[in-house]
Amino acid sequence: MSCDKYLDLISARLDAPLSPADEAELTAHLDTCSACRAIADDLANIHGTLSGCTAVPPAELAQGVMRSIRGQRTARRRTIRQLGALAACLVLCVGILRITDAIYFDRNRPTEGQTPMTARIVPDDTRTGDLSFSNQQRLRLGGMSTSFMPTADLFGSADGFSEFLARFPYNDFSDLARTYDEEYFRTHRLLAVTVWEPSSSVSHTVTALTEDTVTVLRTVPEAGDTDVALWLLLAEVEGTGPEAPLTVELLDSGTMH
């Protein structure tokens, strides 16, 4: 069965309500087609994020992006990546319109439930209470995220880590679940940081960790792609302790001296 018709309906439903007949037909298809259902969920999340933006981009920008989105119907195999990337780029452009002298997104008013981001540089010789961490890992997550702020958590149990992974249903975390089981958490905690980037060419390194803050160095190459990416950074933390959300210090490598 070709999904082209239903992809058109998914796109059209973002602009205006469908007719009762089309809505019923699309609903019936989504009940049986997991691929279209995943696309519909991702685009609905991104559309909801765009609807909540307070800044209004130039009319020609929004119109150009939507024309590009509709034009992707001739390349269905790349639908989820291309539509997601274009919509996320619109979010990025809206964010840029709100920034004057700051490098980062508005960090003074984080959305409820999100970890605030700071851009404070803390010299190494003034850090106190650093935790020992090792075995950093960096995994690219499938699917999009409605949160464009970095988040970080220290997990002290397998159950807590499993609940965190459940936020990303389009990924296979079976290997992680086997590695970070109850036996692991008897002697360790696990740091998990999520970072959204407008380019998959951006790299990250955890450089410092305390009980309330994680510092992540962000390196942007001079030339990179425009492939939107959501990254999961993991690091093994020596010793046990309570689970807790952390503040993220996301530093540009260009700001380090």
Within-domain flag for 107: no
Is 48 contained in some domain?
yes
Residue pair 153/248 in contact (Cβ under 8 Å)? The answer is no
Contact 21, 65 (CB under 8 A): no
Please indicate whether residue 33 or residue 87 has the higher confidence score (pLDDT): 33
228 against 56, higher pLDDT: 228
Task: Please indicate, yes or no, whether residues 68 and 147 belong to a single structural domain of this protein.
Answer: no
Q: Is the pLDDT of residue 107 over 50?
A: no
198-205 average pLDDT score: 91
Q: What pLDDT was estimated at residue 180?
A: 97
Mean pLDDT of the chain: 74
pLDDT at 194: 94
pLDDT at 173: 94
Confidence of residue 54 (pLDDT cuts 50, 70, 90): low
Last residue of one domain, picked from the residues 49, 67, 97: 97
| Domain match, 136 and 248 both | yes
Which domain range does residue 173 map to? 117-255
User: What's the one-letter identity of residue 37?
Assistant: R
Q: What's the token pair of residue 76?
A: 């269905």
Are 200 and 240 part of one and the same domain? yes
Which tens digits make up the pLDDT trace of 225-248? 888 889 999 999 999 999 999 999
Indicate the DSSP class of residue 73: G
**Looking at residue 161, what is its pLDDT?**
96
Q: Averaging pLDDT over each range in 5-19, 86-100, 133-147, 222-236, which range is the top one?
A: 222-236
Q: Averaged over 179-183, what is the pLDDT?
A: 96
**Distance, CA of 39 to CA of 37 (rounded, Å):** 5
Within a domain: 176: yes
Direct distance between the N- and C-terminal alpha carbons of the chain, in angstroms, rounded to an integer: 58
* Calpha distance 228→208 (Å, rounded): 26
**Residue 103 belongs to a domain:** no
Predicted local confidence at residue 53, as pLDDT: 55
Distance CA 213, CA 220 (A): 22
What pLDDT, on a 0 to 100 scale, did the predictor assign at position 2?
Answer: 65
- Measured in degrees and rounded to the nearest 5, phi and psi for residue 78 equal -105, 15
Spatial distance between the Cα atoms of 211 and 158, rounded to a whole number of angstroms:
19
- Overall number of domains in the chain: 2
pLDDT band at 171 (very low <50, low <70, confident <90, very high): very high
Query: Which region, left, alpha or beta, applies to residue 129 given φ > 0 means left and ψ of -120 to 50 means alpha?
Result: left
